[in-house]
Amino acid sequence: MAEVKIYSTGTCPICDKAKLLLSKWKIPYEEVRVDQSSEGLKEMLEKTDHARTVPQIMIKDKWIGGFSELTELHMDGELDNLVQQ
């Protein structure tokens, strides 16, 4: 199974939705709370071309975007391929 990382904050309802969907789809993930970790925020900014919103989602160190992109990948049937590579 691929490594999935989600950058989030504790006050972001869309982050909660993204994590809920990943759990529902049985895709394990690592959460990095950028509101609690300056190193996590720095890492997110470097890996996402300075994205300023959360959630930001990485699959195997490849930036896929946020919640909308995650759900689009799932609806297009491409998410399974990404996490199983």
Unique residue bearing structure tokens 């709370």: 33
Superfamily of domain 4-84: Glutaredoxin (3.40.30.10)
Amino acid letter for position 56 = Q
- The domains of the chain are located at 4-84
Query: What does the pLDDT read at residue 38?
Result: 97
- Tens digit of pLDDT for each residue in 16-46? 999 999 999 999 999 999 999 999 999 999 9
Question: Would you call 61 exposed, middle or buried from its count of C-beta atoms within 10 A (0-12, 13-18, 19+)?
Answer: exposed
- Tens digit of pLDDT for each residue in 43-79? 999 999 999 999 999 999 899 999 999 999 999 999 9
Is the pLDDT score of 82 beyond 80?
Answer: yes
Q: Where are the beta strands (DSSP E) in 1-85?
A: 4-8, 30-33, 56-59, 62-65
